[in-house]
């Protein structure tokens, strides 16, 4: 038994696609300040392709999320395509392991984080999406005894905190790293879109 249903996975993707659409201009504007002004439009192109998938044609959440990962890899390009694509592919692959819903989701989130760390050769403190995802996984683990809803809410809050704390860091990975000291004080676009993904998960994947 998977930790989430195929319908929940579909709702998560649909919610995230909508949120990315609403925030595309904001994400592109953050990227304009430290990168090359395309994060929002790239993510929007990818999530629109994901939202066009027919959820009813998938017989498991893992199959749907794996397809979503491949769709992002094939449609986004840049760094965010392989990174978010790898996140969903690894998340999907780990989803079925675990004695209960919370441990199944924790394993999936952790696998997604490890996938991003490997693909991006980045770690916490480099001022990337990992600075939102890593504290979120920790918060989820701490709260996982309280059920998936509470754990996901804690994870989303931790992601937002991590995103804000990363603003004061100097970027060491990705295009913002070329700015050196000048990246300090700028909010990271990847940590921002990752926080949106976890907030979206908290709205759609929780059960008591």
Partner 1 sequence: MKKLINDPADVVAEALKGVAAAHPDRLRVDHEQKIVYRRDAPRQGKVGLISGGGSGHEPMHAGYVGLGMLDAACCGEVFTSPVPDQMMAATTAVDGGAGVLHIVKNYTGDVMNFEMAAEMAAADSGVRVESVVTNDDVAVTDSLYTAGRRGVGVTVLLEKIVGAAAEEGRDLDAVLALAQQVNDNGRSMGMALTSCTVPAAGTPTFELADDEMELGIGIHGEPGRSTVKLAPAREIAQQLVEPVLADHDFTGAPAIVMLNGMGGTPLIELYLMYGEVAQILRKSGVEVARCLVGNYITSLEMAGCSVTVLRASDELLKLWDAPVNTTGLRWGV
10 lies in the site for partner 1, by CB under 8 A: no
Residues 6+ apart with CB under 8 A from 50: 13, 17, 68, 71, 72
For residue 161, the Cα-to-chain-centroid distance in whole angstroms is 15
Q: Which is nearer to partner 1, 161 or 172 (CB)?
A: 172
119 lies in the site for partner 1, by CB under 8 A: yes
Q: Please calculate the CA angle 202-97-92 and round it to the nearest 5 degrees.
A: 60
Q: Compute the distance between CA of residue 147 and CA of residue 102 in angstroms, rounded to an integer.
A: 6
175, 34 contact by CB (below 8 A): yes
131, 163 contact by CB (below 8 A): yes
185 lies in the site for partner 1, by CB under 8 A: no
Among 69, 82, 107, 115, binds partner 1 (CB under 8 A): 82
| Binding pattern for the stretch 131-170 against partner 1, x by CB under 8 A and - elsewhere | ----------------------------------------
49, 67 contact by CB (below 8 A): no
Among 68, 83, 95, 129, binds partner 1 (CB under 8 A): 83
191 lies in the site for partner 1, by CB under 8 A: no
Among 7, 22, 182, 185, binds partner 1 (CB under 8 A): 182
Among 51, 76, 132, 169, binds partner 1 (CB under 8 A): 76
Piece of the chain touching partner 1 by CB under 8 A; list 51-59, 76-84, 132-140, 194-202 = 76-84
73 lies in the site for partner 1, by CB under 8 A: yes
Q: Which is nearer to partner 1, 76 or 202 (CB)?
A: 76
DSSP class of 146: G
Structure tokens at 16: 């995230």
Helix segments in 35-95, DSSP class H: 39-51, 61-75, 80-94
Helix segments in 121-179, DSSP class H: 130-143, 148-166
Interface with partner 1 (CB under 8 A): 28, 32-38, 41-42, 45, 73-83, 119-120, 126, 172-175, 177-180, 182
């Amino acid at each position: 038994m998977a930790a989430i249903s195929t319908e929940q996975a579909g709702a998560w993707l649909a919610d995230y696609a909508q949120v990315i659409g609403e925030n595309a201009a904001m994400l592109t504007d953050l990227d304009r300040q430290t990168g090359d002004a395309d994060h929002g439009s790239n993510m929007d192109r990818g999530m629109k392709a994901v939202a066009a998938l027919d959820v009813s044609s998938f017989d498991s959440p893992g199959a749907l999320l794996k397809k979503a990962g491949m769709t992002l890899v094939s449609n986004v390009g840049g760094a965010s395509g392989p990174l978010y694509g790898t996140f969903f592919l690894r998340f999907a692959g780990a989803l079925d392991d675990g004695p209960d819903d919370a441990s199944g989701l924790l394993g999936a989130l952790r696998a997604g984080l490890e996938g991003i760390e490997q693909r991006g050769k980045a770690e916490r403190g480099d001022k990337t999406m990992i600075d939102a995802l890593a504290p979120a996984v920790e918060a989820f683990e701490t709260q996982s005894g309280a059920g998936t809803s509470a754990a996901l809410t804690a994870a989303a809050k931790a992601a937002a905190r991590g995103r804000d704390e990363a603003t004061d860091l100097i970027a060491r990975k990705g295009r913002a790293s070329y700015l050196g000291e000048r990246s300090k004080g700028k909010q990271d676009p990847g940590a921002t879109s990752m926080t949106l993904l976890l907030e979206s998960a908290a709205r759609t994947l929780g059960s008591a």
